[in-house]
Chain A
């Protein structure tokens, strides 16, 4: 079989795959038209710039400690790319043979015939792929190797995250796997230098089998196949091929554009001869139910997906009819938005970019009056809880629990309790994790109670509406529930910064944004958008510098989300009877 020549498999391919396993991305990385890749957005550029600065600081620290025994294998821009790589590979090997203690940016590669594609049943053949990559750090260790004698090398990678993550470990394991071929022995350990400058070590045995499975089996499938399965998902937002896939999905009228369509669903529908949304809409309900049952999906099977596809066709939300209440039926014991008569405590939050735990929480207390919600999501009624940059994470969570207790104490006079409504699908999970990591018994106990009693708005909406888009948080929901796409400023934007913060503070914030944009060479307007990554950048900047302006901006953003959540709730109460 003819196989088109692929690009080399690099550490980035490995990192990307283990960040978000997508075979099509691997295929495109090896064969795709690179000119069609998306340029990094402001968040991506911000992170890259930050990473480079961190790496430079780490290298400077090493050089200061050991000024004699290091070597940097830098790129030579005057040379052709491939010629330069060949030169750097040789230079790296020379440095290793000499026993240089620290090698920065060493380049490693496999040689033809060194890697075998291996299949179950004993089938083996030489891999046509080349595996190579640029390491951040190669560190000499006094463990013997066949190639260098009394010493060998370990691989380290410099990252700006607080902890070593799975994909980063896999990337280090990949370089170590190549290194094994050069020095004759697999290093026992690898390490990641974290954003805080800590060396987080791990044993390669911990991940080498997972890596080998990918390198010896899976990657060859992705490299060889002409039509690799693809799926449009929220995680695609980070991918540099997202525009390519979005365009392809639009052309194909692809099934993955239907909200809630899992990869397995799409595969099943493709296997059943249903290749697109249009065909799915035309399917007979009974056929889809039978198909769903045969694949173990509950009750309605794929009929649900057809409804969603139809909702997209109409371009608006369709209300799912609730079953009529039977006379004398008891009220459900579990929290239920539609049966709860007391006030609702809307909770919006922003997590820290890396830790995935709350950095800022905003709440608003609303009372139901029939199908209307009384109370305001305006500034005076919002309560903001902020993580002190110097405090433990638990501090914020503790504040939130205390805040909820205070509300319940006040409501106790009327024999009421506030029902927490999380506006972000992931907030409940993050709170539980936050409490767990605190390892504080009472907090854990109370967190469990609070989270298990809470309502997660996107989940309630999903149960009652068929939406054109998969909702993740209140802002998405608001856009999805409202007819048509969101206007440029967001559906529920409350106006310019000045309207919310006052002229003086707004000016200060604008100046800070402009300064940041200038620092990183970014578009200042882009930094003001409601994008989730950007909100996380605000958190990061605020935590790093303690600048109050960023905190106010976050509050403004969460105010918008609370307003969006309230609007969604009102529509739900109106529609779901």
Chain B
């Protein structure tokens, strides 16, 4: 099996993605504030309270964040009265800190924007943030340069040829030449499951390795040991991922091992706020500075853009004299979310590669293609499905209890995933005496519960579901589940905003429990997960079916819970069909995707709980109290009466 790389198609894909992003931001910026807020690209209602660093950092206060803007996001900062056509000329900055409980936000000035920050803003001024246009250099030019480099347009080199033949599936597997793994002599390696040990062995002893890590199977732990073993054998290791969070997780795991002498984190938001206080760790904000330094740490973590920085600079300045030679191995984490061009940008850094990821979880975020289709495929999926390489599947989940592991194992992992003995029988610990009829929904002995709420015509927001979910979370906390061990997942931000509003009224306004989209919660886990799907309008469901029923998204949502999963939805969701055009378009069949959800429904419908009455009662109570109401216990008393 081989997969020829269509470099033209990949370039067109990169270009189309960039244009789409650019166009969508431009279109949004020309809208009034209300429309921008409606699409979550604008954060209004900010007041400048103070400045730091001689006016280069703004400290702003806020009441709520109605936008999707997060830490690390590049934004335009403007006066609240700015007209739409003035937004693009506003000073540019980066969100460097969001303290939601205290309503405090810090925006740092962008590159060469310090003086504009200093002279533009005054204390007490009301400001608004808008999502910035994507930069052409990062979004388009660098990936296309990488594609052209790998295509051999700037000359030939053994590494370039290896990258191409590896991705095309024509590179024969071979030994790495490093000392073999001696697992029996090492207590940490001895404790690994057989599949984990095999993954470490392949990463060390073979030239290239693929590790598939389903949810909770200890992928990060395995990667930490892979890096440790490589460093023990004198290798310099680069850790690369799509997000800084994923990189930081692997680096933190590396720091557990005393054999690793030095670790560097390059680029990204300066606030790796909870990084380990370890003298071996060095944070270098700018990639260029890191690649100028002569000393090379044992392990360095960076994104693909930072990895490609020295190459793109060299190409900018004339010619590329030589490929980077600071690292021996690049270890990719979350490579199921990394596109082929993005992977190539980092593969340039070394001759050997270890890819860890899971193509059954979320694919790369793309707008112009169906997820996973054609050039939008992730590098991990490409290697597993289109080349002869075989991935080691980590087959024991230390997260999911036995019941929660059954469905994902059958639907996504060929029945090869099982719950580790330590997790198999785990149950949520909570008291339910105070819950009334809601106790059945949170029953710990039914790890997976479908709660149906009958509503109609709802789009991305269902207040009924939001009220029920908020009350269930409140119940769980009152029953003894720590807020840090609860997360709520909804496919749309609009529903998340509603749930947060109701949770706030019940006294849970902080960062915990976490309420977010599936995309934001991949890689995390909680004891209790509540999913709220919100939609009940058949047209809206049909129009969004590709997004809603993507099996990978469903897999991620269903596998975040360690002990208990509550799936809240309208019955209309399960009768939805994709739009007709979806069946006639090229690419994977949407019917297959739909079937995954419907199969889950059939497994759960006999024990489903009709929570319509409870949801309506809760919503009525919220509506009766108003936004600043403080009577969340009112309906509970009424409910107690009703249940008697």
B594 in the interface (beta carbon within 8 A): yes
Cross-chain contact B11 with A210 (CB below 8 angstroms): no
**Which chain B residues lie closer than 8 Å to A326 at the CB level?**
83
- Judge if B124 is at the interface, Cβ distance under 8 Å: no
Cβ of A487 < 8 Å from any Cβ of B?
no
Instruction: Decide if B445 is an interface residue (CB 8 Å cutoff).
Output: no
CB–CB B6/A441 < 8 A? yes
Minimum CB distance partner of B369 in chain A: A436
User: Which A residues touch B8, using CB under 8 A?
Assistant: 440-442
Say whether, besides A166-B580, A299-B35, A437-B586, A448 and B459 are in contact (CB < 8 Å): no
A218-B575, A296-B459, A436-B586 known; A120-B608 Cβ under 8 A: yes
Query: Quick check: B456 and A209 within 8 Å, CB to CB?
Result: no
| Interface residue A79 (Cβ < 8 Å from any Cβ of B) | no
Q: State whether the Cβ of B598 lies closer than 8 Å to any Cβ in chain A.
A: yes
A326 to B610, CA, bound (A): 54
Chain A residues, CB < 8 A from B606:
118, 120-122
Contact between B16 and A445 (Cβ–Cβ < 8 Å)?
yes
Interface range for A: 35 or more
Cα separation A334 to B26 with both chains bound (whole Å): 8
B537 in the interface (beta carbon within 8 A): yes
Chain A nearest CB from B20 CB (Å) reads: 8
Provided the pairs A213-B601, A263-B538 are in contact, do residues A268 and B457 lie with their beta carbons within 8 angstroms?
yes
Docked complex: B1-29 residues within 8 A CB-CB of A: 6-13, 15-16, 19-20, 23, 26-27
Check A296–B30 contact: CB distance below 8 A.
no
- C-alpha gap A283/B326 in the complex (Å): 72
Instruction: Assess the A120–B571 pair: CB atoms within 8 A.
Output: yes
| CB atoms of B26 and A296 under 8 A apart | no
Closest B residue, CB atoms, query A207: B591
Q: How far is the CA of A107 from the CA of B367 in the complex (A)?
A: 47
Whether A166 pairs with B539 at a CB distance below 8 angstroms is: no
Bound complex: CA A136 to CA B452 (Å): 40
Contact B598 A213 (CB under 8 A): yes
Q: Does B104 contact A (CB under 8 A)?
A: no
Rounded to whole angstroms, the CA-CA distance of A120 and B599 in the bound complex is 13
Q: Does any Cβ of B come within 8 Å of A36's Cβ?
A: no
In the bound complex, CA of A326 to CA of B27 (Å): 18
Shortest Cβ distance from A120 into chain B, in angstroms? 4
Shortest Cβ distance from B541 into A: residue: A264
Q: Is the CB of A262 within 8 A of B458?
A: no
Partner of B460, one of A122, A165, A296: A296
B608 touches A121 (CB 8 A): yes
The answer to whether B571 touches A206 (Cβ under 8 A) is no
Expressed in whole angstroms, the Cα–Cα distance for A304 and B6 within the complex equals: 47
Q: How far is the CA of A200 from the CA of B585 in the complex (A)?
A: 16
Please tell me which one of the listed residues A218, A262, A445 contacts residue B12 in the complex, with CB atoms under 8 A apart: A445
Q: Are A296 and B591 in contact (CB under 8 A)?
A: no
CB proximity of B440 to chain A, nearest CB, Å: 11
Identify A262's interface contact among B19, B27, B539, B585, CB under 8 A: B539
Given that A121-B608, A441-B12 are contacting pairs, would A330 and B452 also be in contact in the complex, using a CB cutoff of 8 Å? no
Chain B residue, CB-CB nearest to A329: B85
CB-defined contacts of A442 to chain B, threshold 8 Å? 8, 12
Q: Which of A119, A296, A437 has the most CB of B within 10 A?
A: A296
B521: Cβ under 8 A from any A Cβ: no
Other-chain contact of A439, B9, B16, B537, B592 (Cβ < 8 Å):
B9
Asked if A166 contacts B456 (CB within 8 A), the reply is no
**A13-21, A80-88, A399-407: which lies at the B interface?**
A13-21
B605 located at the interface, meaning its Cβ lies under 8 Å from any Cβ of chain A in the complex: yes
Closest residue on chain B to residue A328 by CB atoms:
B85
Complex-state Cα separation, A212 to B575, whole angstroms: 10
Q: Does A449 contact B (CB under 8 A)?
A: yes
A205 within 8 A of B: yes
Q: Interface readout for A426-449 with B: 1 if CB under 8 Å, 0 if not?
A: 000100010011011110110011
Size class of B's contact patch?
Answer: 35 or more
- Counting CB contacts under 8 A, is A332 at the interface? yes
- A295, B602: Cβ atoms under 8 Å? no
Assess whether A159 is interfacial by the CB under 8 Å rule. no
Interface residues of A in 451-509 (CB under 8 A from B): 452
Which residues in chain B, 523-570, are within 8 Å of chain A measured between CB atoms? 537-540
- B602-622 vs A, CB cutoff 8 Å, 1 = contact: the mask equals 100111111000000000000
Cα(A333)–Cα(B25), bound, Å = 11
**Interface check B120, CB cutoff 8 A:** no
B584 at the interface (CB under 8 A from A): yes
Check: B126 CB closer than 8 A to any chain A CB: no
Min distance, Cβ B541 to any Cβ of chain A, angstroms: 10
Whether A433 pairs with B585 at a CB distance below 8 angstroms is yes
CB-nearest residue of chain A to B595: A209
Are A264 and B538 interface neighbours, CB within 8 A? yes
Task: Determine the distance from Cα of A448 to Cα of B594 in the docked complex, in whole angstroms.
Answer: 28
Is the pair A206, B595 in contact by a Cβ cutoff of 8 Å?
yes
Indicate whether A267 reaches chain B with its CB closer than 8 angstroms.
Answer: yes
With contact pairs A448-B16, A448-B368 given, residues A330 and B85 touching in the complex (Cβ less than 8 Å): yes
Contact of A213 among B6, B15, B575 (CB under 8 A): B575
- By beta carbon, the residue of chain B nearest A205 is B595
Q: How far is the CA of A439 from the CA of B30 in the complex (A)?
A: 34
Q: Is the beta-carbon distance between A169 and B598 smaller than 8 angstroms?
A: no
A514 at the interface (CB under 8 A from B): no
Q: How far is the CB of B466 from chain A (nearest CB, A)?
A: 12
Q: Is the CB of B9 within 8 A of A444?
A: yes
**A residues less than 8 Å from B580 (CB atoms):** 19-20, 166
- Closest CB in chain A relative to B432 CB, distance in Å: 20
Chain B residues whose CB sits within 8 angstroms of the CB of A262 once the complex forms: 537, 539
Interface residues as binary, A323-354 with B (CB distance below 8 Å gives 1, 0 otherwise): 00010011011100000000000000000000
0/1 string, B492-532, CB within 8 A of A gives 1: 00100000000000000000000000000000000000000
Q: A213, B574: Cβ atoms under 8 Å?
A: yes
Interface contact A264-B540, CB-CB below 8 Å: yes
Quick one: which of A20, A21, A299, A445 has the most chain B CB within 10 A? A445
Separation in Å of the B184 CB from the closest CB of chain A?
Answer: 44
In the complex, chain B residues 407-464 whose Cβ is within 8 Å of any chain A Cβ: 450, 452, 456-461
With contacts A165-B584, A169-B591 known, is A209 near B9, CB below 8 A?
A: no
B598 A120 Cβ-Cβ under 8 A = no
CA distance A295 to B26 in the complex (A): 27
Q: What B residues does A436 contact at CB under 8 A? A: 369, 374, 585-586
When the two chains form the complex, which single residue of A21, A122, A429 contacts B607, counting CB atoms closer than 8 Å? A122
A295 to B464, CA, bound (A): 12
Q: How far is the CA of A298 from the CA of B6 in the complex (A)?
A: 42
- A267/B602 in contact, CB under 8 A: no
Task: Choose from A267, A439, A448 the contact partner of B457 (Cβ within 8 Å).
Answer: A267
Indicate if the CB atoms of A120 and B575 lie closer than 8 Å.
no
Does chain B have a CB within 8 A of A408?
no
Q: How would residues 225 to 252 of chain A score, 1 for a CB under 8 Å from any chain B CB and 0 otherwise? A: 0000000000000000000000000000
Within 8 A of B (CB), among A151-199: 163, 165-166, 169
Which single residue of chain B is at the shortest CB-CB distance from A212? B602
Residue numbers in B under 8 Å from A122 (CB-CB): 606-607
Given the known A-B contacts A433-B585, A452-B19, are A333 and B6 also in contact in the complex, defined by CB atoms under 8 Å?
A: no
Q: Does A1 contact B (CB under 8 A)?
A: no
Residues of A within 8 A of B599 (CB): 209
User: Which A residues are in CB contact (< 8 Å) with B583?
Assistant: 165-166
A299, B20: Cα distance in complex, Å: 25
Complex: A214 Cα to B19 Cα, angstroms: 41
Asked if A42 lies at the interface with its beta carbon under 8 angstroms from chain B, I say no
Taking a contact as CB atoms under 8 Å apart, the answer to whether A445 and B15 are in contact is yes
Instruction: Select B35's contact among A210, A298, A329, A332, beta carbons within 8 Å.
Output: A298
Q: What are 21 A-B contacts defined by CB distance under 8 Å?
A: A21-B538, A118-B606, A122-B606, A122-B607, A166-B583, A205-B595, A207-B591, A210-B577, A210-B591, A210-B594, A213-B574, A217-B575, A262-B539, A264-B457, A332-B30, A334-B23, A436-B369, A436-B585, A439-B6, A440-B8, A441-B11
Known contacts A19-B580, A452-B23; can you find 6 more A-B pairs with CB under 8 A?
A121-B606, A122-B606, A263-B539, A299-B35, A333-B26, A441-B13
Which A-B residue pairs are the 7 nearest by beta carbons? Answer: A441-B8, A166-B583, A209-B598, A445-B12, A264-B537, A120-B608, A441-B9
